[in-house]
Structure 1
Amino acid sequence: MFTGIVTDLGTVREVQPIGGGQDHRLIIGTSPAFLANPPVALGASIACSGVCLTAVELGADWFAVEASAETLSKTTLGGWQAGTRVNLERSLKMGDELGGHLVAGHVDGTGEVVSATPENGSVRWRFRVPQTVAPFIAPKGSVAIDGVSLTVNEVAGEEFGVNIIPHTATITTFGTLQPGSRVNIEIDMMARYVARLREYQR
């Protein structure tokens, strides 16, 4: 489990095809402090731009993860290459401050940046999501975009908007996004369970 509060901005160093080229092994560079305080254990879960992945190898300032063909096809990871910037968050421990909202690291679909418009001291970002994801996004509800916990400001059909303050843009990949960019979307966990419950009540 995660909170959607990004604690480091990593960079993909290598993408190595494995499993007959269907899967990928990713080497992600990060700050030594991210891995050392406290030390990340082999097999630990790390949210990489919203995708929960397992650390299979560790270095002083890098870690390796492996992504299956399923993950590559359902998230933005299939398009990652050397130099891609990655939002990083270590898994939540009991007793940690829950600054965002509960995030599982299970991506529900990918969205597309529609626009980014300055609005007072922040920027209003609009995203378009698939029809299968749109019903689960509600005004003033929570959503994780590339692993960043955000509050939804408004919804119109398959599009929704959020506001990003300068601090968030500086410490996350929002500083590199532009219209047309693809992002990982995770809907609020509560919305997912309510929808499942309603299926059984019909």
Structure 2
Amino acid sequence: MRFEVQKYVILLKMFTGIVEKIGSVAKIISQGKNRHFFIESELAPELKIDQSVAHNGVCLTVVGIQGNIYEVVAIDETLQKTSLSDWQQGDAVNLERAMKLGDRLDGHIVQGHVDQVGICYAIEDAQGSRVFTFHYDPSLGNMTIEKGSITVNGVSLTVVNSQKGAFSVAVIPYTYEHTSFHTLRVGDKVNLEFDVIGKYVLAKVGALELKI
């Protein structure tokens, strides 16, 4: 049983929502409907071909490495369902490598599969911290709960206020400075991944309601 659990975790390519480094988009090349992104980062020399890395919460595979720059490819579906289609040269990118078996889970379970794109609606100063409010389309079936987990651009955060189609998170100064949150502006798109446990519970409840 232990072996099966380990095998399952490896296949998940799980992340934690704890950003390792901030990279930057060095170059973008379009090829058909795909886009090749060249990311400059201190992590590049430590990476390997075929390694999974979360980019603003989007799991992408490393296909090339040269010095401090590595290459990933986003297919058309990824571009349509995430904010990667808006990336420009010089944009800051939150980076996290997939966790290894035995690593501490300091954030929460993150799959690197973006559920939908949200919009930064407001940014408020909260006596040293900052409160970010995001809006999203609730018709897609996603939801948040207060004190629950949410991943915004690959960053594991706790929901402090939850409404239908909107939620707020408090970002401490360290997180603000060590992620791309310090570049975020009102109106910007963000990648949202809702809590995976909550999604399974919601799906199960929905299935039970259909049977009643």
TM-score range, shorter chain: over 0.9
Greater share of helix? 2
CA distance in 2 between partners of 1:121 and 1:134 (Å): 34
Aligned residues with identical type, % of pairs: 38
CA distance in 1 between partners of 2:200 and 2:139 (Å): 15
3-state SS of paired residue (2:203)? helix
Once the two structures are superposed, the pairs formed by residues 92-107 of structure 1 within 5 Å of their partners are: 92-107=99-114
User: TM-score scaled by structure 1?
Assistant: 0.93
Q: Is the 8 A contact 1:144 1:186 kept in 2?
A: yes
Match of 2:182 among 175, 184, 197: 175
Question: Paired residue for 1:91?
Answer: 98
Gaps (5+ residues) in structure 1?
A: none
Match of 1:136 among 120, 131, 143: 143
Q: Is the 8 A contact 2:123 2:131 kept in 1?
A: yes
Is the aligned partner of 1:11 residue 2:18?
Answer: no
User: TM-score scaled by structure 2?
Assistant: 0.89
- Which letter does structure 1 place at the counterpart of 2:25? V
CA distance in 1 between partners of 2:52 and 2:128 (Å): 35
- The C-alpha deviation readout for 1:28-70, integer Å capped at 9, x for no partner, is 0001xx234xx32210000000000000001221110000000
Is the aligned partner of 1:127 residue 2:134?
Answer: yes
Is the aligned partner of 1:35 residue 2:44?
Answer: yes
Is the aligned partner of 1:187 residue 2:200?
Answer: no
- Which letter does structure 2 place at the counterpart of 1:114? Y
Q: Is the 8 A contact 2:57 2:153 kept in 1?
A: yes
- The C-alpha deviation readout for 1:152-189, integer Å capped at 9, x for no partner, is 00112211110011111111110001110110000000
- Which letter does structure 1 place at the counterpart of 2:73? E
CA distance in 1 between partners of 2:141 and 2:121 (Å): 15
CA distance in 2 between partners of 1:109 and 1:76 (Å): 9
3-state SS of paired residue (2:138)? coil
3-state SS of paired residue (1:73)? helix
- The C-alpha deviation readout for 1:131-151, integer Å capped at 9, x for no partner, is 135742111000000000000
CA distance in 2 between partners of 1:62 and 1:192 (Å): 35
- Which letter does structure 1 place at the counterpart of 2:35? H
CA distance in 1 between partners of 2:65 and 2:206 (Å): 43
Is the aligned partner of 1:25 residue 2:36?
Answer: yes
CA distance in 2 between partners of 1:195 and 1:116 (Å): 29
Tell me how many residue pairs correspond in the alignment: 196
Gaps (5+ residues) in structure 2?
A: 1-13
- Which letter does structure 2 place at the counterpart of 1:49? N
3-state SS of paired residue (1:137)? coil
Query: Quick check: 161-170 or 131-140, which moved more?
Result: 131-140
- The C-alpha deviation readout for 1:88-139, integer Å capped at 9, x for no partner, is 0011001111110010000000110111111122011100011135742111
Match of 1:164 among 168, 171, 175: 171
